[in-house]
Structure formats: structure tokens, C-alpha cells
Amino acid sequence: MSEASSANLLEMINLTKRFPGVIALNNVSLKVKAGSVHALMGENGAGKSTLMKCLFGIYSMDEGKILLDGKEVTFANSKQALENGVSMVHQELNQVRQQNVMDNIWLGRYPKKGIFIDEKRMYEDTAAIFKSLDIHIDPRSKVGSLSVSEMQMVEIAKAVSYNSKLIVMDEPISSLTEKEVNHLFTIIRKLQSDNVAIIYISHKMEEILKISDEVTIMRDGQYIATKSAKELTTDEIIKLMVGRDLSQRFPEKINKPGVVTLKVKDLTAETEGSFSNINFELRKGEILGVAGLVGSKRTEVMEALFGIRGIKSGSIELNGKVVHNHSPQHAIKNGFALVTEERRTTGIYPQLSISFNSIIANLPQYRKGLFLSENKVHDDTKWVIDSMKVKTPSQKTPIGSLSGGNQQKVIIGRWLLTKPEVLLLDEPTRGIDVGAKFEIYQLINQLAAEGKGIIMISSEMPELLGVTDRILVMSNGRAAGIVETKTTTQEEIMRLAALY
């Protein structure tokens, strides 16, 4: 953490923002010093994103004022914000994947040579920014060919390209490895040295305490506190965020694993260079964790089990019977369900209702001639909302307007309607606040107690150690070992993850 300047670059004073039936922000203030990293924390629905959207000109505030460099500003749109040195790296990456990297960075403001785009200058300017940030990506690469973490780096470079005085980073590390997180922190410290201020939104408390100078905490649309990061601990942040003491980060385990229900034997991917010779068993009522570094092919194994990826050799047995999941439809029919890693891109239809998102995996069950049975759709959606404890005004609410935790509950409920025996969860709490995480853990625990076999990928070691019964460790496309959660350590898991 740097010694930040004492001058306030940004002051947001008594902001209020109302939506129909809801006060999203209630008299919220925020002060950010030039050259500082200011963390903004709170549960999903606390108002963090709404506050930043008011700053960035996406929303108009109902009351309050914003000062930038001591001058009052009101941005009518994000273009005005960017022109005034305020940029934002959004959690949802809104990039044109068919275009190359430099096109994405300079979109709408291409350098010109006469009436033509100056490709040479665009390449050189992009390469210069990448060099200054130590980013090793070819500016001519198609964005669609990049990994999620590389796309994130491109977005950060784009923000820097505006010569920003203030950069908002919304969940910038949710898709990054430890090495990439360290690289991001190096970039942030360089920006600080150039007197750029960073507003850093994240749920990952260890990183918050490592990189931040100050931390502002919000709850239920209200300002709670601003404290020096040096004065805070993880427990204190949690208490301020949720308004109660969460001494237990994980619920008490109530499941009791029984007989073996799933056997995976010598599973090898159809695609060269993916996973090979994967062997493991899953018991009824067991939570099997899957650990591994990025590139270990954890997700690929789950997708193969669910019929998204082809299998070259090996077998999958469920309850003593070999099953052939040639497609997701086959997998669903055979008793498998998959909650995907990228909830926003592959998990939900954001503009459509909770009702639609609840029944979509099980649509044939609702057909009544040419139409859908409205009563059955209503009853099953009500079951999802009630049993998953989804906070929503109604069944017709667009799922995209819910918090991340509530979206995830709807997705899990959707798959439970298919009555699966094996539930595959890929990073089920990514981008979800600490309170909602606890509820998801309780739900996973309860499902296992009811006899579901659960396989759960997670990049968070404390989560794996707090929730699972055993952990399969993947390394470079191979199963490096299976450890008992009760007796293993983070060191043993990391050693196995780096084995191949």
C-alpha cells in the first residue's frame, strides 16, 4: 500500500437514488484521495454498484452532489465521465469478441490519418500501454481467443488509455489466478505512483486488506464506515458488512456420505492436450471438492461428465450402470446437473423472469399440448423461490436485477427441478458476498444430507476445506490425488496441484 496523497480527488456527498418501491442509496457519502486505493465493500444489494453507476453517468442521482478535483460534476453518460478522467472496469466484460484487442481499446476514438484509421499508430499506442503495464498480449489478437483473465487485463489497459485520474475496478480478481492477482497489484501500485486513484470493489477480504489504503463499507444502501485498511481485520469487515458477527464462516456439516453412486474410470478427453486417465468415486450424500490451478482442466472434466465435451475413452457409471452423456440432454436424463462457472454468460437469461429461468432446464415437463401449464410453472417457480430462500418481489422479476447470490440460488433450484442424483457445481460462490456465501454453503450441505452426490470446483482453499468431505486435486489435466478434507492441509493440496 502506498502513502496516498491527502487531497480528496473525489467527493460524493449525501447521494440518494430511488427506484420504484426501493431506496437503492440513502444519503451515502464517499471521499477518495488522489493516488490511493479505496476499497468499497458490502453484501450484494448494499448499493456499491449503484453508487458507482451514479458516478459514471449510467444512473442519475435524485439527491446529493459529486465533486471531482474540487469542482462539482454531473455526468449525463459514461462518455462524459471518460472525457473527465473517470473510467470503470466492469465485472461483466462487455467486449466485442469478434474484433481484435486494439480495436476494443480504441473503439469510438480511433487514431486517424486523414479520413482513414491509422492502424500503425493504434498498434504502437496499444503496445506502449501494454509495455508500461507489463501485459504480454498481442494487440492484433482476437478478443474471443483470450482467456477471461487476459480480457480483464485488456479492460484495465483500456481504462488507462483514457489517461484516467480515477479508475473504478469492479470485482477485478474474480477470474484471476494468484500469479495474475499479483500482476494486477503491481499494475495498481504503478498507477498509484502516477497519482491515479483506484476504487476497488471486491468480496475477497484478504486481497482488500493487502492492496487498499482505506475501506468504505456499505449496507442496505447506506454508508456504514470508512476505516484505514491497517486498522481492519477480516472479522471486523464481516461484522460491519452484515451487521452481525459471523464467527463461523462455514455451517456445521450435517451430511453423512453413504454408498458409492458414481464411478469415473480412466476418463480421457477427445481433445488433445485436455485431461486424461481421470479416476474417482463419489458417494451418495458426499461433497467432493475439486482443487487445482488455472489450466488444470477441472472445468473440462465437469463439462465432459455433463456431455458438453467429447470423451475419447473411459467410462462413467451411475449406480452400477454405465451411462453415455453425449449431450447435456442425455446428462439431464441420466440424472446429472451442472451449475456453470460463468453465471452471467452461461447460467442465466438476464432479461427474462425468475419463472423462465427456473423452468428452462426442464421445459418438456411443463408442456400441455401446444402451451405450457401455467399452474405447474407457477408452483415450481414458487418452490424454487421458497426452498432456495430467493429474495425477490415476484416470479416475474427479471433475474438480472437480483443480487449474485439470489441468481445462483435460482440456478441451483432450476437444476433441482430436474431431480438429479449428481450435482456438479463449478465455482458456485464466485462473485457472491460473504452472507450469501454462507446461505449457499448451507444449501449445499442440506442437499448432500438429502442424499445428493455433489462435486464442487472452487479456487478458494478455505471454501474447499470448510465445505467438502474429500478433495480431488487436478494438475495439468491429470488427477494428482484425492485427500480427506479433515486431515489435509493447504500445503498438501498446493503440492499436489503443482505435481505435473
Residue 416 reports pLDDT greater than 80: yes
The whole-number pLDDT of residue 20 equals 66
Residue 18 in any domain: the answer is: yes
Together in a domain, 316 and 402: yes
Q: What was the pLDDT predicted at 1?
A: 53
**pTM, two decimal places:** 0.61
Question: Residue 361 to residues 249, 365, 416, 468: CA-CA distances in angstroms?
Answer: 32, 10, 10, 26
In terms of domains, do 348 and 312 share one?
A: yes
pLDDT value at 2 more than 60: no
CATH number, domain with residue 25: 3.40.50.300
Beta bridge partners of 225: 217
Number of H helices, E strands in the chain: 16, 24
The pLDDT value recorded for residue 239 is: 81
Who has greater pLDDT, 177 or 262? 262
Mean pLDDT of the chain: 88
CA distance 421 to 413: 14
Look at residues 182, 241, 259 and name the one whose alpha carbon lies nearest to residue 40: 241
Structural domain harbouring 411: 260-497
Query: Is the residue at 372 inside a domain?
Result: yes
240 is written with which cell numbers? 460491519
171 plus 224 within the same structural domain: yes
Q: Looking at the domain assignment, is residue 53 inside a domain?
A: yes
Question: Do 297 and 174 reside in the same domain of the chain?
Answer: no
Report the 10 Å Cβ neighbour count for 474: 27
At residue 286, the pLDDT reads 98
Query: At residue 189, what is the residue type?
Result: R
188 and 287 belong to one structural domain:
no
Q: With pLDDT > 90 as the criterion, what percentage of the chain qualifies?
A: 52
Q: 2 in a domain, yes or no?
A: no
Kindly tell me if the per-residue pLDDT of 174 is higher than 70: no
243: left (phi over 0), alpha (psi -120 to 50) or beta: left
Report pLDDT for 93: 65
Domain endpoint, select from 215, 242, 269: 242
d(CA 127, CA 121) in angstroms, rounded, equals 10
pLDDT of residue 5: 45
| Top-confidence residue, 19 or 490 | 490
CA 414, 415, 416: angle at the middle one, nearest 5? Answer: 95
In a domain, 80, yes or no: yes
Greatest Cα pair distance, the chain, in angstroms, is 73
pLDDT (mean) for 198-217: 89
| Whether residue 304 has pLDDT greater than 50 | yes
The answer to which of 117-126, 420-429, 435-444 has the lowest mean pLDDT is: 435-444
DSSP string, 427-487: STTTT--HHHHHHHHHHHHHHHHTT-EEEEE-S-HHHHHHH-SEEEEEETTEEEEEEETTT
Least confident of 149-163, 173-187, 373-387, 465-479: 173-187
Evaluate if residue 184 carries a pLDDT over 50: yes
Q: Are 73 and 21 part of one and the same domain?
A: yes
Q: Give a yes or no: residue 199 inside a domain.
A: yes
| 245 has pLDDT over 70 | no
Helices 178-193 and 148-161 meet at what angle, rounded to 10? 10
> Are 23 and 69 in a shared domain?
yes
Q: Is the pLDDT assigned to residue 120 strictly greater than 50? A: yes
Dist. CA 335–CA 339, nearest whole Å: 14
146 is written with which cell numbers? 483470450
User: What confidence score (pLDDT) does residue 472 get?
Assistant: 98
446 and 373 share one domain: yes
pLDDT for the residue 247: 59
pLDDT-derived band of residue 91, with 50, 70 and 90 as boundaries?
low
The model's pLDDT over 325-344, given as tens digits with 9 standing for 90+, comes to 999 999 999 999 999 887 77
The pLDDT of 296-305, averaged and rounded, is: 94
Contact by Cβ (8 Å): 262, 423 = no
352-388 pLDDT, tens per residue?
A: 999 999 988 878 788 877 788 888 889 999 999 988 8
H or E element: which one contains 27? strand 22-33
Res. 36: pLDDT tops 50:
yes
Read off the pLDDT band of 175 (50, 70, 90).
low
What is the percentage of the chain residues whose pLDDT exceeds 70?
95
28, 90: one domain? yes
Residues 238 and 264 in one domain: no
Beta bridge partners of 318: 262, 321
Give the least confident one: 83-87, 153-157, 245-249, 333-337. 245-249
pLDDT band at 3 (very low <50, low <70, confident <90, very high): very low
Are 233 and 144 part of one and the same domain? yes
Q: Taking residues 392-407, report their average pLDDT.
A: 86
Give me the pLDDT at residue 437, please.
84
Residues 445 and 425 sit within 8 Å (Cβ to Cβ)? no
d(CA 197, CA 32): 7
Q: Does residue 12 lie in a domain region?
A: yes
**With bands split at pLDDT 50, 70 and 90, how would you rate the model's confidence at 4?**
very low
**1 assigned to some structural domain:** no
Write the DSSP string, 103-146: HHHHTTS--EETTEE-HHHHHHHHHHHHHHHT----TTSBGGGS
Confidence of residue 434 (pLDDT cuts 50, 70, 90): confident
HSE-CB at 299 with a 13 A cutoff on CA atoms is 12
Residues 234 and 267 in one domain: no
Q: Map grid coordinates 424454487 to a residue.
A: 384
SS3 41: strand
Lowest mean pLDDT among 299-303, 311-315, 394-398, 427-431: 427-431
Q: What phi and psi, each to the nearest 5 degrees, are found at residue 460?
A: -100, 110
pLDDT band at 244 (very low <50, low <70, confident <90, very high): low
- DSSP per-residue codes, 184-217: HHHHHHHHHHTT-EEEEE-S-HHHHHHH-SEEEE
Q: Which of 41, 459, 467 is nearest to 249 (CA)?
A: 467
- 432, 433, 439, 445: CA torsion to nearest 10: 60
The answer on pLDDT for 396 being more than 60 is yes
Residues in a beta bridge with 371:
368
Quick one: average pLDDT of 30-34? 95
What domain count does the chain have?
2
pLDDT of residue 258: 96
**CA angle (417 as vertex; 411, 422 as ends), nearest 5:** 80
